[in-house]
């Protein structure tokens, strides 16, 4: 069956990141994960203590660089490793671990500026929280976006406040909505992280989170499956309450439905988590990344589905 989806250059039926980068940079693009040794307002007590319950001690920076090394060294090592597989690739400096705008502007400049004029670095990707971008920081991010390619990655996880309180996110949906709009008003690319399988959320709740994002004009999305990692508050919560963990089949079907409801212009940066086998308690199937991706492709092909099908259907009925 011929693929009629225009935002892909292979057999995928969703807006692939590979296609997006190829169209924009005419090249393979790799993100080099960095650890600038920032903390988080949800850890140091400014808005909360202990962090989000699923977050590891590395602040989601398991694949980031060694914080004991300077950022340039981290970047060079990551770049060298990736060049072995993709010798002609271009690179983005990805500030991944913890909250990467949660510091004074001078500290941010020390971290970000060295990567802006490097010939081997085409842009920056900065992972942060919506409550950790001050007015001064917003001005600085806009300035960066005028000098290089910039992505700001915001963790939303869910639109449902009851779940947000349970996972100790300590940031409101209203705050998130306002920050996305402020970033977009300044033409800054926004990528949003969401998590499927959060305790007690139904399939409809997870789909509602995706529907909400359609209204915010975001540029990209990362869809994760909740992983119960060792030595996290979530591990203790799971051992006590034994909430339902999505099966691989449940997760795949939910992602497919989310893609149907997602605006086709939104770029898919990730469709599954990719934990280290030694770190994960549940679900163990989460370590089979390519199996999950293949199952998603298989279902979309078998059912002849594409990203945004339900968006088009809604427009027809309005």
Query: What tokens appear for 188 in the block?
Result: 């800054």
Q: Exposed/middle/buried for 210, CB within 10 Å: 0-12, 13-18, 19+?
A: buried
94 domain-assigned: yes
Its domain, for residue 252, covers: 17-317
Per the domain annotation, does 7 fall within a domain? no
**What gap in Å lies between CA 306 and CA 289, rounded to an integer?**
21
What value does the CA radius of gyration of the chain take, rounded to a whole number of Å?
Answer: 19
Mean pLDDT of 3-23: 90
Q: For residue 95, what is the domain's CATH number?
A: 3.80.30.30
User: Is position 53 within any domain?
Assistant: yes
Residue 5: the pLDDT is: 85
3 domain residue, yes or no: no
Close Cβ partners of 12 (under 8 Å, ≥ 6 residues apart) = 3, 5, 19, 297
As given in the structure block, the two tokens for residue 157 are 């996880």
Q: Average model confidence (pLDDT) for the chain?
A: 93
∠ CA 237-241-244, nearest 5°, is 100
Closest-CA residue to 123 (of 29, 26, 34):
29
pLDDT for 165-219, tens place per residue?
999 998 999 999 999 999 999 999 999 999 999 999 999 999 999 999 999 999 9
Is the predicted pLDDT of residue 74 greater than 80, yes or no? yes
Residue 100: inside a domain, yes or no? Answer: yes
Is residue 26 domain-resident? yes
pLDDT class of 275 with cuts at 50, 70, 90: confident
Mean pLDDT of the 37-63 span: 82
Average pLDDT score over residue span 247-254:
98
In the chain, what percentage of residues exceed pLDDT 90? 85
pLDDT one-digit tens code per residue, 196-206: 999 999 999 99
Statement: residue 61 has pLDDT above 60: no
Res 84 pLDDT > 60: yes
53 with 237: CB under 8 angstroms?
yes
In a domain, 1, yes or no: no
Alpha-carbon distance of 206 to 211, in angstroms, equals: 9
Say what the pLDDT of residue 260 is.
Answer: 97
Contact indicator for 267, 20 with CB cutoff of 8 Å: yes
pLDDT confidence tier of residue 305, bands split at 50, 70 and 90: very high
Question: What's the number of domains the chain is made of?
Answer: 1
pLDDT in tens, 147-164: 999 999 999 999 999 999
Task: Please spell the DSSP secondary structure of the chain, one letter per residue.
Answer: -----TT-SSS-SS-BHHHHHHHHHSS-EEEEEE------TTTBSSS-BS--TT--TTSS-TTS--TTS-HHHHHHHHHHHHHTT-TT-EEEEEE-SS-TT-S-HHHHHHHHGGGTS-TTEEEEEEEE-GGG--HHHHHHHHHHHHHSEEEEEEEEE-S-HHHHHHTT----HHHHHHHHHHHHHTT-EEEEEEEES-TT--HHHHHHHHHHHHTTT-SEEEEEE--EETTSHHHHHHHHH-PPPPPHHHHHHHHHHHHHHS-TTSEEEESS----TTTEEE-GGGG-HHHHHHHHHHHHHHTT--TTHHHHHHHHH-
Burial class (CB in 10 A: 0-12, 13-18, 19+), 315: exposed
pLDDT at 1: 47
Q: What is the pTM of this model?
A: 0.94
Residue 2, domain member (yes or no): no
Which pLDDT does position 191 carry in this prediction?
98
- According to the model, what pLDDT value does residue 316 have? 56
Q: Are 187 and 218 in contact (CB under 8 A)?
A: no
């Amino acid at each position: 069956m011929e693929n009629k989806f225009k935002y892909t250059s292979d057999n995928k039926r969703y807006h692939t990141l590979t296609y997006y980068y190829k169209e924009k940079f005419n090249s393979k693009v790799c993100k080099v994960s960095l650890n600038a040794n920032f903390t988080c307002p949800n850890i140091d007590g400014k808005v909360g203590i202990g962090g989000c319950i699923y977050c590891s001690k590395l602040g989601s920076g398991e694949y980031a660089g060694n914080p004991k090394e300077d950022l340039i060294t981290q970047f060079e090592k990551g770049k060298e490793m990736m060049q072995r597989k993709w010798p002609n690739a271009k690179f983005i400096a990805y500030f991944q671990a913890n909250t990467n705008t949660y510091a004074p502007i001078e500290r941010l400049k020390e971290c970000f500026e060295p990567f802006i004029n490097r010939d081997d670095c085409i842009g920056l990707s900065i992972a942060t929280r919506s409550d950790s971008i001050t007015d001064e920081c917003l001005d600085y991010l806009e300035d960066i976006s005028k000098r290089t390619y910039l992505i700001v990655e915001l963790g939303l996880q869910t639109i449902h406040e009851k779940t947000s309180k349970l996972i100790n996110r300590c940031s409101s949906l209203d705050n998130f909505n306002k920050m996305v709009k402020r970033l977009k008003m300044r033409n800054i690319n926004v990528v949003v992280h969401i998590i499927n399988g959060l305790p007690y959320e139904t399939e409809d709740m997870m789909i509602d989170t995706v529907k909400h994002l359609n209204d915010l004009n975001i540029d990209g999305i990362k869809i994760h499956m909740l992983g119960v990692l060792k030595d996290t508050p979530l591990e203790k919560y799971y051992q006590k309450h034994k909430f339902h963990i999505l099966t691989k089949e449940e997760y795949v079907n939910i992602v497919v439905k989310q893609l149907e409801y997602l605006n086709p212009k939104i770029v898919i940066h990730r469709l599954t988590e990719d934990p280290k086998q030694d770190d994960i308690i549940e679900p163990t199937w989460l370590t089979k990344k390519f199996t999950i991706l293949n199952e998603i492709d298989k279902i979309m092909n078998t059912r002849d589905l594409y990203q945004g099908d339900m968006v088009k259907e809604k427009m027809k009925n309005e």
